[in-house]
Amino acid sequence: MLPSSPAPQRGAARQAGARRVLVLSASMGAGHDTVARELVRRARAQGHQAESVDLMRLLPYGTGPGLRAFYRTSVRHAPWVYDGLYRAFLRPGDHTRPSGVPLARLAADGLERLVARTGADVVVPVFHLAAQLTGHLRASGRLRVPSTVFVLDFAVHRQWLHPGNDVCFCLTDQAADDVRRAVPGTHVETTGPVVSPEFFTPAPGADGWRRRFERYAPGRPPVLLSAGAWGAAAGLGETARLLAGAGYLPVVLCGRNQALRSRTARLPGALALDWVTDMPGLLNAVCALVDNAAGQTAVQALAAGLPVAGYRPLPGHGADGVRRMADLRLTESAADGPALLAVLDRLMTEGPEERRRRAARGRAIFHTDVLERAVALTGRPTVTSRGAD
């Protein structure tokens, strides 16, 4: 049974029914933090108190920055290294306790202190190592408030799963079924992804983007290429050249990778962008997204009704997620350059009714507010003594 939260009365008094929500994120790219910010915004809009914390800051002895640097270097320059680690320790299988548990435990004392200081009623991990940490603390009795994990991947890998957590919220029914099979007895719900409301409404900035594209390459349909916050993508220049040669305007999201932006800016016919703050406007101004990670940019595109083509996915969970999204008919999939051009050409010529059905299919996965469910379940009896370690 979920123990009652201690919820010490610190700071401003809470309204009746209000909760203190602690979102546990990680500065590994930008996707986890983007989701965490939106969950905090929703919590406050619903009358709760909320804050997010970066797991990397809770890890001691410089472990967090070191882990982040290793992962960033791997996905940018040696993706086969991450692919090997993923296959060995993360890919879904029979085991639900990967070797990342000892690493997560290094943040245990810091999280305990934070929960005590904030008086949190519920902890919401949105990063897989954070889920390992909260699961361990719940199973051992050191975390006295429920942990409701929000799994951000379409293809759920093992490090998201720990039997000590109270609840797993998943993006799709297929992901939820994967969790149920891997961790029997866990309370699992399908909520869909989380994006800010601006992605579902007409974007004021779209016209400015359209004018910019028309000035840069008149008459060429703009196609967005995403490389994530770290600018990690395989053969991005080759893909941009392919699209430019076929009459498209490749608009390349280089994130915070200035070296990538400099290289891309030299490609004839390509438009290189650094960090973009108006993603709703941009997604409403382009004709399609070429995605390689099945991450937050792809989810935002679905919310905006933008077609998504998966191509040259990042190894590991990126490739698995891109395949899963295509299997669910949320995106198109292209195995090579000619296939990508065929997908884009088909998308450019689809009729209004077909375009409407495709957009509706993508938006249909946004059907439940995960924050509301996390708060609602704080008072619900749930078994949390499984898998003590």
Reported as a single tens digit per residue, the pLDDT across 278-295 is: 999 999 999 999 998 889
Q: To the nearest 10°, the Cα dihedral for 256, 262, 268, 272?
A: 20
Residue 83 has pLDDT above 90, yes or no: no
Per DSSP, the three-state class of 98 is coil
Beta partners for 188?
Answer: 168
**pLDDT classification of 9: cutoffs 50, 70, 90:** very low
Q: What CATH code would you report for 197-363?
A: 3.40.50.2000
The hierarchical CATH code for the domain 20-194+367-379 is 3.40.50.2000
DSSP character string of 104-156:
HHTTHHHHHHHHHHHT-SEEEE-SHHHHHHHHHHHHTT---S-BEEE---SS-
Answer yes or no: are the C-beta atoms of 222 and 251 closer than 8 Å: yes
Closest CA to 212 of 260, 261, 249, 172: 249
The backbone torsions φ and ψ at residue 196, rounded to the nearest 5 degrees and listed phi first, read -75, 155
Instruction: Give the residue-averaged pLDDT of 174-186.
Output: 93
| Phi, psi dihedral angles at 44 (to 5 degrees) | -65, -35
Q: Tell me, what amino acid is at 178?
A: D
Which whole number is the average pLDDT over 250-268?
90
- Only one residue has tokens 């969790």, namely 179
Summarised one tens digit per residue, pLDDT across range 49-60 is 999 999 888 877
Q: Tell me the C-alpha distance between 308 and 330, whole Å.
A: 8
Q: Mean per-residue pLDDT for 102-124?
A: 88
Domain ranges of the chain: 20-194+367-379, 197-363
| pLDDT band at residue 94 using 50, 70 and 90 as cut-offs | very low
- Maximum Cα–Cα distance for the chain, whole Å? 63
Domains 20-194+367-379 and 197-363 share a fold: yes
What pTM was estimated for this model as a whole?
0.87
Between 227-231, 232-236, 294-298, 342-346, the lowest mean confidence (pLDDT) is in 227-231
As a whole number of angstroms, the distance between CA 284 and CA 34 comes to 19
